[in-house]
Structure 1
Amino acid sequence: MRARRERPAGSARAATAAVTVTTAGVLPAYLVGVLWVQLSADLGVGPSLLGLLVAAFFATSAVSALFAGTLVRRLGGIRVVRLSGLTAALAMLGVAVVARDTAVLVAALVVAGWGNGVGQPASNDLIARSVPADRQGLAYGLKQAAIPLSTLLAGVAIPLVAIPLGWRTAFGLGAVLALLVVLSVPGARRMGSAGASAPPSEAAGPFRRGPLYVLAAGLALGAGTGNALGSFFVSTAVAGGIAPATAGVLAAVASGLGALARVVAGWLADRVRTRWLLVVAAQMSLGGLSYALLGTGVEALIAVGAVVGYCTGWAWAGLSTYAITRMHHGMAAQATSITQGGMGLGAALGPLAFGAVVSAGSYAVAWTATAALAVVGGLVVVLARHLLLRDRPALVAAHRRRAAARA
């Protein structure tokens, strides 16, 4: 009876740790973005630096994620999760205290990107090992919803902290928040091992890097187009005739609905047995259609495109992680380190490429290209799923049993 009581507690601690560390991990990048007006005016730097900083953060995350599996094996998932939160705290503290020029800002975002890159696969592994199998979908959905949550926290920092107290205070409070996250992560004994005995999925099979790299390429396209939505929606809306204040409110509403969509999708994954990577591919493709609406210049269609885009084209991250970990039982950190690297690379390159296309052409051209890339990303995910399932004899046997039972 005692073990049954500890199991939910351990899973709740694991999910909470994964969500809070993910929030802290991406907070430095989003704080720089939302506080850029005050920060750039104080330091005397131009707007082009913002794109460089965001790219440096996500590119470093992509590279460090590739080595996260090895780091988790050597240090353990909980230690790497704590290290991720501590790195975010140090990066934000560095910006708050010693940022006087471009070099410090770039260095801080590179350090923060490294911590975020190793923290994502580590938190995925933590969920896979500590959360029961029938709750992992919801846990991954909550974890990925932490990214819009960090955007919300960064946005709240402007009126409550940055305007009355200054942007350095906002970064300082962010560092304190990240440090509190580190201190709140419980040890291995308190975490429990609820998920350690969870049976592998029927789709679980051998570790093959080739199909995972193909999947990472598809997720990179999805992350690049999704991050372009988050980076350029407001400017697109304003260019389409929507008032800046209205565009900001619409972005907040769409982002909030997108976070809810991630949680709902994870909740459904625990209750519905289906081919979730195909759902991910469909979300990307539907998101592509919504991105095309953003390029029309029609106010109503821009609003619809934003909501649909956030709820489909940029709401699949939790589902993809859930599917990958279920297909790689006991190897969540190693498998998701590859796919997380692809997502980080796409998140870095997507806004840069979008900005370049807008500068050379127009928002209409940029969103049309974004829509096409999202659909291609969905097709690549379908191909990767086929390659991943090719060596899954248990899944083939299960399909045969179900077919025989229906007959």
Structure 2
Amino acid sequence: MSPAPRRGRSALVMAVASAVTTLGALPPFLLGAQAVAIRDDLGFGLGAFGVAVSLFFATAAVATLSTSTLVDRMSRGLLLLLAGGVVTAGGLAMSLLVSGWWSLMAVMVVLGLGNAACQATANSLMARTLPPGRRGLGFGVKQSAVPLAIMLGGLAVPTTGALWGWRSTFVVTCCLGVVVMLGAVGLLLRGRRRGSRRAAASNADLLESPPTLPLVLAALAITLASAAANYVGAFAASWGFEVGLTPSQTGVLMAVGSGGSIAIRVFSGWRADHRHGANLPVVATQMWVGALGCLGLMIDAPWAVWVFGLLAFSIGWSWPGLLLYAVARLGRDNPAQASAAIQAGAFAGGALGPAVLGGLSGAAGFPVTWAVAAGCFALAGALILLSRRLFTADLLARPPREPFTYGRSKVTPPREP
């Protein structure tokens, strides 16, 4: 295959993975952006609303961990069909059936399952379809879907939500899920025509698994960092308003922070493709920058919110794609199993961060909570470096059957992680 078609195919895979990830991650941000209208319509308070969002992430975490082995054995078409089907069902139920708190909880469970399926599908596409020299960029683009979902959730309020009500935004996600299902059917039909012998052989050959202890440490690290980062995303605007920013200024702050996070995630992935490993130290550094940003947010001044808020949001939350890329490479023949542990940690942090740290900010105030969030970031960076040492030791003890690929060369330098 010539370089131009190969680049075009890689770009298509990245676009599909990013779109599927955005679709799965969108529901809690749609809820958050339309919180006032939804709570008024369904008749419950802010605490119950927070439980609904946390339940979404908790369901995704449990589903990701419990199905990782199965994901490695499913075809791309079947994964896409499953992801699209669950998202479609959740969007349809949200737009037609939700009438109170309990029904909202049930639908958020379904949407959490859809998010887990979307993330697993996208991670599998990245790890098994992209050429090795483009996977870092691919994971960077794919993980840019979360800040993109935040932006889209905000845009839904003055557009679709204002014209037809909050339920109409979930009609849109339902329709997008149908599009994903149609694309999956096309993939399945094409795969059936070509036969699946090669895929079956590769599935039977899944022999090597990632080492457990460093994977657990990396998952714990992303749980802590994700809790802190999601707290920044959820409460930086509230803190800005408290210290003197206007609602419009806090909106600009979140939009610029989201844009910066997207840009740095993509750049970090691109750089990973041009580096011989050593990705996890970069992840740790980005987390420590997040700690610095949170410490700076303790300053009760508008300028500090601008400077340190953007620092924490754009650089301090730029590590998800790079971390997923690094761990998926070290997943040997089970990249979905390796990335599932990291993805589950991110979901757990998404469930715990706004709930636990949000409650702490209400009880002890924002400055104390910013200090705790900084501690979460700092500890997460230390755990990443510890997991790197253990990953490196495992590489030396169990050299991979196929050397890692960097661009056009195949080498396995001892500093790979």
- TM exceeds 0.5? yes
Shift of 1:4: 5.9
Instruction: Give, in whole Å, the separation in 2 of the partners of 1:387 and 1:119.
Output: 30
Could you list the per-position Cα deviations for residues 196-217 of structure 1 after superposition, in whole angstroms to 9, with x for gaps in the alignment? Answer: 9xxxxxxxx8522222111100
Q: Against the structure 1 CA distance between its residues 262 and 239, is the aligned structure 2 distance closer, same or farther, given a 3 Å change threshold?
A: same
Residue type of the alignment partner of 1:380? L
Partner residue in 2 for 1:291: 294
Shift of 1:294: 1.5
Instruction: Give, in whole Å, the separation in 1 of the partners of 2:272 and 2:4.
Output: 24
Partner residue in 2 for 1:381: 384
Could you list the per-position Cα deviations for residues 283-310 of structure 1 after superposition, in whole angstroms to 9, with x for gaps in the alignment? Answer: 1011111011112121111111121112
Given the alignment of the two structures, is residue 348 of structure 1 paired with residue 351 of structure 2, yes or no? yes
**Matched residues, number:** 391
Partner residue in 2 for 1:80: 79
Shift of 1:11: 2.6
Partner residue in 2 for 1:187: 187
Partner residue in 2 for 1:35: 34
Query: Which shows bigger deviation, 388-397 or 318-327?
Result: 388-397
Could you list the per-position Cα deviations for residues 265-299 of structure 1 after superposition, in whole angstroms to 9, with x for gaps in the alignment? Answer: 11111123341011101110111110111121211
Instruction: Give, in whole Å, the separation in 1 of the partners of 2:249 and 2:240.
Output: 9
Residue in structure 2 matching 1:248, options 247, 251, 260: 251
Which sections of structure 1, spanning at least 5 residues, go unmatched?
197-204, 402-407
Whether the aligned pair in 2 keeps the contact of 1:284 and 1:374 (CA below 8 Å) is: yes
Instruction: Give, in whole Å, the separation in 1 of the partners of 2:13 and 2:412.
Output: 31
Name the SS for the 2:99 alignment partner.
coil
Residue type of the alignment partner of 2:91? M
Q: How does 1:111-130 map to 2 (within 5 A)?
A: 111-130=110-129
Whether the aligned pair in 1 keeps the contact of 2:218 and 2:387 (CA below 8 Å) is: yes
Whether the aligned pair in 1 keeps the contact of 2:210 and 2:330 (CA below 8 Å) is: no
Return structure 1 stretches of 4+ with deviation > 6 angstroms.
none
Residue type of the alignment partner of 1:307? L
Residue type of the alignment partner of 1:134? G
Partner residue in 1 for 2:274: 271
Whether the aligned pair in 2 keeps the contact of 1:122 and 1:333 (CA below 8 Å) is: no
Whether the aligned pair in 1 keeps the contact of 2:136 and 2:270 (CA below 8 Å) is: yes
Whether the aligned pair in 2 keeps the contact of 1:129 and 1:330 (CA below 8 Å) is: no
Partner residue in 2 for 1:109: 108
Instruction: Give, in whole Å, the separation in 2 of the partners of 1:81 and 1:216.
Output: 25
Instruction: Give, in whole Å, the separation in 2 of the partners of 1:38 and 1:160.
Output: 14
Whether the aligned pair in 2 keeps the contact of 1:162 and 1:169 (CA below 8 Å) is: yes
Whether the aligned pair in 2 keeps the contact of 1:206 and 1:391 (CA below 8 Å) is: no
Residue in structure 1 matching 2:262, options 259, 269, 272: 259
Partner residue in 1 for 2:205: none
Q: How does 1:391-402 map to 2 (within 5 A)?
A: 391-393=394-396, 394=399, 399=413
Instruction: Give, in whole Å, the separation in 2 of the partners of 1:55 and 1:110.
Output: 10
Q: How does 1:8-407 map to 2 (within 5 A)?
A: 8-185=7-184, 187=187, 207-393=210-396, 394=399, 399=413
Residue type of the alignment partner of 1:187? L
Instruction: Give, in whole Å, the separation in 2 of the partners of 1:349 and 1:105.
Output: 19
Q: Against the structure 1 CA distance between its residues 114 and 399, is the aligned structure 2 distance closer, same or farther, given a 3 Å change threshold?
A: closer
Q: Against the structure 1 CA distance between its residues 315 and 400, is the aligned structure 2 distance closer, same or farther, given a 3 Å change threshold?
A: closer
Name the SS for the 1:45 alignment partner.
coil
Residue type of the alignment partner of 2:262? A
TM-score (norm 2): 0.88
Instruction: Give, in whole Å, the separation in 1 of the partners of 2:336 and 2:150.
Output: 25
Whether the aligned pair in 2 keeps the contact of 1:287 and 1:314 (CA below 8 Å) is: yes
Name the SS for the 1:325 alignment partner.
helix
Name the SS for the 2:72 alignment partner.
helix
Residue type of the alignment partner of 1:112? L
Could you list the per-position Cα deviations for residues 242-286 of structure 1 after superposition, in whole angstroms to 9, with x for gaps in the alignment? Answer: 111111111111111111111111111112334101110111011
Identity of aligned residues (%): 34
Shift of 1:171: 1.6
Instruction: Give, in whole Å, the separation in 1 of the partners of 2:209 and 2:157.
Output: 48
